[in-house]
Structure 1
Amino acid sequence: MGNRGRGMSISDRDLAIKAAEAGAAVVRAHYGTSVVRFAKSAGDFATTADIEAEEAILGVLRAARPDDHVWAEESGRSGTGGSERLWLVDPLCGTLNFAVHNMLVAVNVALRVGTRVVVAASADPFAQEIFWTDGVDASVRRAGVDQRLVPSAESRLVDVNLDPPFPNESVFRAARLLAHERFVERFRPRVVSTTLAVAWVAAGRRAAYVTDGQLRDSVHFAAGIALCAAAGCVVTGIDGQPWHTGLGGLVVAADARTHAELLALVADQRAGGAGLPLP
């Protein structure tokens, strides 16, 4: 179970699950409607569903933990005082998917205490699954029943994030990885364009996930990374270092062999062996 503190009637784990469920319910209710788009930056946008799902999540968190800080995708950081407890909230990961009536999205909620994420939940609004971790165990909840997450590389499916930004593009681009001869021989690529795919690595539905980017304090990735770590996946940055250091990025794999193979492909690209330049 998640941590309980003085005056806290619900565990942190259960609160993360409850908050993610609240956001997922809003997302489901908006699906198929003509949602309003709100421009953000560089082609990015939010929708009515993002904003209302975030409001639902924050309402759950603030009612139970009024002294905690929150960092949310749409409304930014809130909270006063010296609390080390920070909730990271991504109300709708896969906004473009959702806006064109694609059901591949996630609702992510994670609690960081100090430097460590201690509980997290990632909800699939349409499969009505909640992937959760209390920092020790990792499970998926369906219809109120929890099943332990067991990573597996058997599918050979590797989800690759092709969306910008690309802070390490001089030495690594995910698009080049897909053209590498050894990648084609060993793996089969998938591009879901939502961090739901990170949770799928923990669940054994993907062999691995690869992305560039600086992911420290990321509302998008915090929940998925915590799930994978608790499930026993191998999680590093694209240079094999801890994902929040060095070059950053993320290589999360179901097992050590898959992880080593992907790191070797990334290293080959960094050494100039990728072969195919980007247009």
Structure 2
Amino acid sequence: MLQILTGFGFLSGMSYPFRLLRLFKSNPGLLSYIIVPIVVNIVVGIFLYIGLFFFGWQVTQLLTDNMINRLDLLLADLPSWFNSLDYLVIFLGWLIRIILSILLLILTGFVLVQFGVLLAAPWYGNLSEKIEKVRTNKVEIIEVGMIRDIGRAILFELKKIVLILGCGVLIFLLSFIPIIGAIISTVGGLTVTGTIICLDFFDGALERRRLKFRKKVSLVWKTFPASAGFALVCLLLIGIPFINLITIPFCVGSGTLFVCDRILLKHL
């Protein structure tokens, strides 16, 4: 019954950032490990929001204005009693702007995660180790040496890019299927995004065990739908402008909690 009420783990997966707050409350010393990542996020975030977001906003404005102009030209060839549709065009223009702006905010937050997690990796690693120690009373680390460690980190990022591009091309092609194409592309896009988010936030604990990339991806799917709930709440947290500068370290820490509770005991 509990599984049904929590969506077979979906709602439980969503609860992990809030579980981390409870862990911080009982272990306040852990808070010291998120100070540097927050500073790194603020520095990276300033450049991203000034560059990527405002550039993207200009592109959004250009696309919207172009679409409205096309609709205006179309209405100009229609009988005069169709002039009342101008209000509909204005409404559609604002609706498109809002949708594109939300997507742009999510994209900016997603890029911020990629850079922030990479640049603050040593501090996130310490945070993850301390959380795992508190949660399981032990920390498993397989040492491979600094050079190989750096190589694995680079390969991890490259494989994520390959996964995004490969799935992105397939989703783009499937989007042309009549009627169901839009549904497939939406679900597919959310699935890929959720998988990447889980890989980023689970990696602190998984990488210490030097797991292969395919194994990490399989663990994300083995914990579905809890991993989907976790990815959704993290996507919301990283999509809120400026607030995400603080919430990203919490997502990293809650990812370690998720691994300790749902992966280490059941799948490793």
TM bucket, shorter chain:
under 0.3
- The TM-score with structure 1 as length reference comes to 0.26
Structure (1 or 2) with the greater strand fraction: 1
Pick the structure with greater CA Rg.
2
Q: Which has the higher helix share?
A: 2
